[in-house]
Amino acid sequence: MFPRRLAATAVAVLLLAFPAAAADSPSGSKPESKVDTYELLNLFGDVFERVRSDYVEQASDEQLIEAAINGMLSSLDPHSGYMNDKRFDEMKVQTQGAFGGLGIEVTMEGGLVKVVSPIDDTPAFKAGIEPGDLITHINGEQVLGMTLPDAVDKMRGPAGSDIKLTIRRAEREPFDVSLTRSVIKIKSVRSRLEGKVGYIRISSFSEQTDAGLQDAIDDLKKQAGGQLQGIVLDLRNNPGGLLTQAVAVADDFLDQGEIVSTRARKPEDAQRFNAKPGDLAGGLPVVVLINGGSASASEIVAGALQDHGRAILLGTKSFGKGSVQTIVPLSGHGAMRLTTARYYTPSGRSIQAVGIEPDIIVEQAKIETVKSDPNARRESDLRGALPNPTSPAEGAPQGAPQGAPEGPPPAGLTAAEAESGASDYQLMRAMDLVHGLAMFSARAGNGTH
């Protein structure tokens, strides 16, 4: 029977792994830990057989074994788990930049599905799903009691099909959100020029991210005509992705030094990633936007640029996922995702369950324009006020008022996208900061004080 063969195989592996210990044990007795392992494997076999023969409904051997493996892995931490062939194929497609579903990155918390972040321009994003939302029901079915893979499976489905999620958010009463599934094609890098400041949004770290970033920086430089003042790198609600891409993105802004290190259970498995010479931004000021939806690979980039003093971080504290998952293919049976290391920023700090604190804390806020009193008196209204000797002659053109649009939206940008920055308080603060840093650098270079 399968479980007995499994137990026998495990015994053989253990004996091969510890021949010396077995030889040294007195009177041929086995070490207690090994005896316990054999007994537990037999326990597993006994439970498997009982479920197989007596459970109220027949379950396949494959279903039981896969559930047991997934239970073992998912009990370790929220990010370890088993993927059957179907889920493994979906994961490979997702890291390549396209997949089917709602466009939502999730984890498990307190038995419920917790939203890490929605992905830009997906059904979840357009429906107003927010980081930190808890999904309590899927199409009316309670999530409590499901595994994360089960919940994810229920949220996936054919493009065009509908789904209803019940959301619990902060102090609000639970509410339902209806969404229509679609094929999610992720363009992980978007950019636009705001005056003389480049805005780059990275929504996830897939295989195309670094190439997309390099193209975006080149394009911004061309649009600015050599007058680019700085860059705002927006990593808000970016759930992470490939470690290699996070390292490459950070390397694009660094000339030298460590980007990130990983420390595993065995010291010899530790890794260190260092930057290569060449800063694509040419030393221009960089402001990185982060928030509670910035996780994993996003935190690697933010932490590296912060520790090297290459960028100023603005926004709110990040998610706090400081662990590395290794995908281990299992021949003919999918793969397992196993947490194998923790990562550390260049200064040696782990952000696991802590997150990265921004240099400047700016909560997202709504902005209202307060109209000035048209009847308010000014110096120029006072009788006998002195004229300004440097003001232009009367009747001369004064130029466009500050804040007036300088022309049509940049190429490839819709009017709605062009206007979106006006209601994004964190982005406005980041833009102001880049302008200020550029102005300070220019004055310092000219010897102006």
**Residues taking part in catalysis:** 296, 307, 321
Q: Tell me how far CA of residue 132 lies from CA of 21, 49, 114, 194, 357, in angstroms.
A: 50, 41, 6, 30, 18
Q: How does DSSP assign 403-428, residue by residue?
A: T---SSPPTT--HHHHHHGGG-HHHH
Sheet holding 230-234, edge to edge: 189-194, 197-202, 230-234, 286-290, 312-315, 360-361
Short-list 338, 348, 331, 351, CA closest to 81: 338
The rounded Cα 378 to chain-centroid distance in angstroms is 50
278 with 271: CB under 8 angstroms?
A: no
In one-letter notation, the amino acid at residue 398 is Q
Q: Output the furthest CA–CA distance in the chain (Å, rounded).
A: 113
For 303-329, letters b (16+ CB in 10 Å) and e give bbbbbbebbbbbbbbbbbbbbbbeeee
C-alpha span between 66 and 153 (Å, rounded): 15
Cα separation of 326 and 337, whole Å?
Answer: 6
The rounded distance, in Å, linking the Cα atoms of 188 and 200 is 10
What separation in angstroms does the CA of 95 have from each of 36, 98, 189? Answer: 40, 7, 14
d(CA 319, CA 442): 36
Pairing between strand 230-234 and 286-290? parallel
Helical residues (DSSP H) of 25-117, grouped into ranges:
32-54, 61-74, 85-95
State whether the Cα torsion 392-394-395-400 is positive or negative: positive
Chain-centre distance for alpha carbon 271: 21
CB neighbours of residue 144 within 10 Å: 10
